[in-house]
Structure 1
Amino acid sequence: MAEFMELEGQDGVRMAWNVVPGTKQEASNCVVPVSAIYTPIKPFPSMPVLPYAPLRCRNCRSVLNPFSIVDFAAKIWICPFCFQRNHFPPHYASISDENLPAELFPQYTTIEYQSPREASSLPPVFMFVVDTSIIEEEMAFLKSALSQAIGLLPDNSLVGLITFGTLVHVHELGFGTIPKTYAFKGSKDVSKDQLLEQMGFFLNKPKPSTGVIAGARDGLSSESIARFLLPASDCEFALNSILEELQKDPWPIPVDQRASRCTSTALSVAASLLGACVPGSGARIMAFIGGPSTEGPGAIVSKNLSEPIRSHKDLDKDSAPHYHKAVKFYEALAKQLVHQGHVLDLFACALDQVGVAELKVAVERTGGLVVLAESFGHSVFKDSLRHVFQSGDKDLGLSSNGIFEINCSKDIKVQGILGPCASLEKKGPLCSDTIVGQGSTSAWKLCGLDQATSLCLIFEIVKKDIPDATVQSSSNQFYFQFLTYYQHSTGEMRLRVTTLSRRWVAGPGSIQDLIAGFDQEAAAVVMARLVSFKMEIEAEFDPIRWLDKTLIHICSRFGDYQKDSPSSFSLSPRFSIFPQFMFHLRRSQFVQVFNNSPDETAYFRMILNRENVANSVVMIQPSLISYSFQSVPEPTLLDVAAIAADRILLLDSYFTIVIFHGSTIAQWRKAGYHNQPEHQAFAQLLQAPRDDADAIIKDRFPVPRLVICDQHGSQARFLLAKLNPSATYNSDGHHPGGDIIFTDDVSFEVFLDHLQRLAVNKI
């Protein structure tokens, strides 16, 4: 797959089919949709940033690119999308074969334009929304993490603070002499007008009689805004003083009840306050939640402890009384935030569920970050929060105010995007009638995006038949252009343009070409995003059956076999790992919801929906590395047979990293051999997986959980759950020193055997 990774290194794009099925019928026979996973602001060291405005086609508005046909003599360029002839403006007068502008260089298929206007004067804005209905110990952890984060904020960024429990408290940071807060009842929804009225925004200046009231330009005085949002350098002391004195919510909690926690009202107040003060700026609401919401329109459970928090079973049977109301509330909040251009980040830290499943829509549509941990004292939370504000080579590259647009050849339509974005409802000839994810548009809003944010675009081929070769006027190339306008972390507006060309094939003999262009990693990730999406929106959907049917169709179409002879079946190397990916996807946390709460499932899917192909593949099929005295560290099969008494295994499943010591290694370690000078080699063997795990943890967001365990120990389950169960309690013997898995799941060998039988019998 090296050439596909090379293409990703140049354009940030991986496509399931790099040779595209050319007609509607061919595309439906390919089963995996024509799709692309695109990382809009992936950093490229060699990409030029041009200090002028792009040249656009006057018909379809696509940007001049290396695939445009240029007539140097007539100073004309022809758009590859709509074939419109466009004249070059006067400042391109000296253009020639030897004197090309950067956007026509064949290697610059991805290029960035820097707005010639001044960098935006809008500083980044952070509104901290902090849960106080938590125990004292958690409160201490959270306060320490927040004061660290405040110290890392850029000096010019504006900061606000809202705390909530039974009531919502908006802290007036500009009133430095004594702490001053405005309290709102947690069970009541507060409108924007009520908020402005109660917080004294119109004391010195009468309320404007007409128009929307938002921002300094629109009738709010900058002094009243500065009471609640101050530059970090001015309010660091005030913020730290408030945090030091911050107490657990003082309202008494009856023994048979949960704490009163009005998460939804607090987020609604934060959104309205930011919408009034800084509309259209790259503001982020950072919510720190330590328990289930029990108050207000987004409550997920009643205060009564006798009512359990909803499980997957309750959601399937539609017996979760609060779920639909809460989701409806957060959908409205998502719409408001997208309209304002603001982001909701969620840090949920509790042993219980807090409502991530309900909040998912607001976080995902605004492109927010999400971190789920067991406690505010856990390294998963503390290190992830620090990572958000880190600068230098580990910088997340947080950007804001993005708009993503797409242009394609006329035989292609867009069904939608699966990923962290919201539809801008820009309808047009590009929009397919079939909608997947955020569809029915050719433009999307990306309120927040970072260097890793990846969108999955699903296309539909609409060409009905293959034109006769003699009459064929157009070339056999399809073109795609992705345009991303965004506010760079430096504050300036940028436009990144990526233009791709892919050859299409159709008719007899096209199968070999399609096979040659198949990217099995990208296809597995597209299928994972699709199956997660279908599980959420289709009531009677059976994910295992759907994945199996897809895989049988693919093997039947692209496999090499004699009919009804399973032993003759073989797959090209381009497809050979795809069944393995599907096997692990069927067993993954995205499809198997048993043993996970709705919050955990929502969290896993949110991360899958925003990560690039390499990271998503690790979530679907974890990587396993073996360390032993006999050999250098080497990748090994994700199989129970990899376990041996004298080996250490390092499992990376993206969310969790497991260092697993075989029983002999564990005994030696407990005996302290690694501390004895004559056993240096053993000390090095123990240290090697730790160093590799640390390197992975450093580069990843959210920070994964590290589990160090021994064979036959209770935490060994973190490894065993991910392995192919080739040796189980009811299989014939296993190798000495190894292990067995107590499961009724079929092994990969049995799975493959069934697959081959069904593929060769398919008519």
Structure 2
Amino acid sequence: MLFAGGPPTVGPGTVVGRPKTEDIRSHTDLAKGTASHYKAAVKHYASLAERAVAASHVIDIFACSLDQVGMMEMKVCVEKTGGLMVLADTFSQSVFKESLLRVFKRLPADIPKDGGHLQMGFAASLEVLTSREFKVAGAIGPCSSLRKVAPNVAETAIGEGGTNAWSMGGIDPAVTIAVYFEVTNAANNPLPPSKRRFIQFITQYQHASGRFRLRTTTYSGAWHNDSVDMGPVARSFDQEAACVLMTRIAVQRTESDEEGTVHDVLRWVDRSLIKLSSKFGSYRKDDPTSFAFPQEFVLYPQFMFHLRRSQFLQLFNSSPDESSYYRTILIRENVTNSLVMIQPSLLSYSFSAPPQPVMLDATSIRPDCILLLDTFFHVVVFHGETVAAWRAAGYQNSEEHVNFKNLLDSPQLDAQMTMTSRFPVPRFIVCDQHKSQARFLMAKLNPSITHHTGEVGMGQAMLTDDVSLRVFMEHLMKLAVQTP
């Protein structure tokens, strides 16, 4: 475990020099290639990661500093060994204290065999076996290639490719690996209608009790000829899982020097979405008004819209350390948590209705409502203008306004429940409409009302030039119906 309060300034892992006149690298320095220590530091920490993987050691980093500490260079040690990463402002902050305690969380004592043991495994590995018609292209997540060459390894590499086995180092119940495949059956050799595909995941690890465990999971499914009928493929489409899988590829491409800039990755995301829409949407050519998505695809463009605006692909207002931190957490979490990072959840609390989910949109802001935003990294309780004024007047302290007191307490209690099992512990923010910390909510909302459109009906106008989801969908439909 590394507890870092500042960046390395000496030795082969130097992130910034000792002279006070030297600034630590920024996104601009990295883009221009003027970060003098970057490449040497990454090479050094990559070699440390290889040594740790070979020895089955896990590296955790707890960085608590108001400035950067070199997370971007050191994250390879965490990702390759299956370690944990926590980024906080100070060691006295609850984000650090509670997260450190949860690392050593134990299972309830009444659970047979596992009771009382740590919720983690060690020296874990994953091997994937497939039937002949498709091969393993690679894996993206907290893992390292074991360089095992097998007949079912594809030539195309995605993430940690060129193998069908990976070392995962330390694992816990939240660790998720994304595995990608490539269909290699020749087009001129159609499969029989009764042909089925098989895939097997073999996971091994040492339990906290000292015992070694092996888990084998085998799946089977039918093949479908997409050139004949796309119906079975469309009906089996999992838009939530597809969004997370695409996000991991996009994040991996942003961190690969060979894939180009973030702008190039955004263009790739757009092209992939247009191609998917053109293939599975129903429409009349060159008529955007006729476009319609099957039920299994309706949320996918919305996920991609929020992904494009997220901190995973946008560098503005994030340091290199913060960007690396967000991306490292993303590629180890499950689908549910990853979707919360991409498209945060928003709940509304008011006198007129029980707590209910509302759209992540500027129109969801009401003066007499309280909003609870969960972005995974932040949990925000946002008070509308009127509610904030009532609270400032002290109405919640009088007995006749007990309902108002309950309204104020309800999102606070729900926020605490959300944070109870989360790792790393999110930052908890309480703010009021039109105040500075309201930016944590405003930055995540769909800008359906801006200073250009003016305030239309309910909601709050946002000072931004970003396009809204409606405009994004209009452009998508226009391009999709034009694609041959």
**TM-score scaled by length of structure 2:** 0.96
Could you tell me how far 1:594 is from its partner in structure 2?
1.4
Deviation at 1:488, TM superposition (A): 1.0
Tell me the SS of whatever aligns to 2:296. coil
Q: In structure 1, what is the equivalent of residue 160 of structure 2? A: 438
The 8 Å contact of residues 423 and 439 in structure 1, kept in 2 or not, is answered as yes
Deviation sequence 1:152-194 (CA, Å, 0-9, x none): xxxxxxxxxxxxxxxxxxxxxxxxxxxxxxxxxxxxxxxxxxx
Look up the equivalent residue of 1:311 and give its one-letter code: S
Question: Match for residue 238 of structure 2?
Answer: 519
Residue matched to 2:112: none
Equivalent position SS for 1:761: coil
- Determine the C-alpha separation between the residues in 1 that align with 2:463 and 2:454: 13
Query: How far did 1:338 drift?
Result: 0.5
- Which one of the candidate residues 260, 271, 277 is aligned to 1:540? 260
Indicate yes or no: 2:220 matched with 1:501: yes
Aligned partner of 1:734 in structure 2 is 456
CA distance in 2: counterparts of 1:468 and 1:378, whole angstroms: 60
Alignment-mate amino acid for residue 388 of structure 2: A
**Aligned equivalents of 1:735, 1:711: Cα separation in 2:** 17
Is the 1:466–1:506 Cα contact (8 Å) retained in structure 2?
no
What is the rounded CA distance, in whole Å, between the counterparts of 2:376 and 2:96 in structure 1?
Answer: 15
Instruction: Summarize the Cα distance change of 1:396–1:313 in structure 2 as closer, same or farther, 3 Å threshold.
Output: farther
Q: Equivalents in 2 of 1:611, 1:545: separation in Å?
A: 25
Cα distance change, pair 530–507 in 1 and its aligned pair in 2 (3 A): closer
In the alignment, which residue of structure 2 is the partner of 1:310?
25
Give, in whole Å, the separation in 2 of the partners of 1:468 and 1:610: 37
Q: Distance in 2 between matches of 1:409 and 1:681?
A: 61
Distance 1:697 1:508 in 2: 47
- 1:326 alignment partner, one of 36, 41, 61: 41
CA distance in 1, matches of 2:189, 2:307: 39
Structure 2 match to 1:335:
50
Q: Distance in 1 between matches of 2:283 and 2:145?
A: 44
Structure 1 residues 379 and 390 mapped into 2: Cα distance closer, same or farther (>3 Å)? same
User: Do 1:396 and 1:450's aligned partners in 2 also have CA atoms closer than 8 Å?
Assistant: no
**Structure 1 partner of 2:447:** 725
- Which shows bigger deviation, 458-467 or 597-606? 458-467
Equivalent position of 2:326 in the other structure: 604
Q: Aligned-pair RMSD on alpha carbons? A: 1.4
Structure 1: stretches of 5+ with no match in the other structure: 1-285
Partner of 2:200: 481
Q: Which residue of 2 aligns with 1:562?
A: 284
The one-letter code matched in structure 2 to 1:543 is V
Matches within 5 A, 1:27-38: none
Name the counterpart of 1:349.
Answer: 64
In structure 2, relative to structure 1, the CA distance for the partners of 1:468 and 1:583 (3 Å cut) is closer
Question: 1 CA distance for matches of 2:52 and 2:76?
Answer: 11
How far is the alpha carbon of 1:540 from its aligned partner? 2.3
- Whether 1:756 and 2:471 are equivalent positions in the alignment is no
Runs of 4+ in 1 over 4 A off after TM superposition: 393-396, 466-469
Structure 1, residues 284-343: CA drift from partner, whole Å, max 9, x if none? Answer: xx1100111111111100111211110111111111000000000001000100010100
Separation of aligned partners in 2, 1:517 and 1:500: 15
| Deviation of the 1:392 alpha carbon | 3.3
Does the CA contact (< 8 Å) of 1:726 and 1:748 recur in 2?
Answer: yes
Once residues 395 and 294 of structure 1 are traced to their aligned partners in structure 2, the CA distance between those partners, rounded to angstroms, is: 39
- Cα distance in 1 for partners of 2:8, 2:78 equals 16
1:387–1:395: 8 Å Cα contact kept in structure 2?
no
Contact 1:387 1:396 in 2 (8 A): no
Determine whether 1:646 maps to 2:368: yes
Kindly provide the CA deviation profile for residues 216-269 of structure 1, in whole angstroms up to 9, marking residues without a partner as x.
xxxxxxxxxxxxxxxxxxxxxxxxxxxxxxxxxxxxxxxxxxxxxxxxxxxxxx
Contact kept? 2:136, 2:182, Cα under 8 Å: yes
Q: Is the 8 A contact 2:117 2:208 kept in 1?
A: no
Q: CA deviation at 1:734?
A: 2.6
Partner of 1:692: 414
Matches within 5 A, 1:271-420: 286-392=1-107, 397-420=119-142
- Counterpart CA distance in 2 for 1:497 and 1:716 is 48
Relative contact order: is structure 1 or structure 2 higher (C-alpha 8 Å, sep ≥ 6)? 1
Q: Which runs of 5+ in 2 are unaligned?
A: 109-115
Q: Deviations over 1:727-746 (max 9, x none)?
A: 0111143335x311111000
Provide the C-alpha distance between the structure 2 equivalents of 1:431 and 1:392, rounded to a whole number of angstroms.
Answer: 37
Structure 2 residue 232 is matched with structure 1 residue 510: no
Matched to 1:487, the amino acid is Q
Identity over the aligned pairs, expressed in percent? 49
C-alpha contact (below 8 Å) 1:420/1:455 kept by paired residues: yes
Could you tell me how far 1:476 is from its partner in structure 2?
A: 2.3
Give per-residue Cα distances to partners, 1:675-713, cap 9 Å, x unaligned: 111111101111111111101100110000011000000
**Matching residue of 1:94:** none
**Within the alignment, does 1:747 sit opposite 2:464 as a pair?**
no
Matched-pair contact (CA < 8 Å) for 2:454–2:461: no
For 1:594, the aligned partner's letter is: F
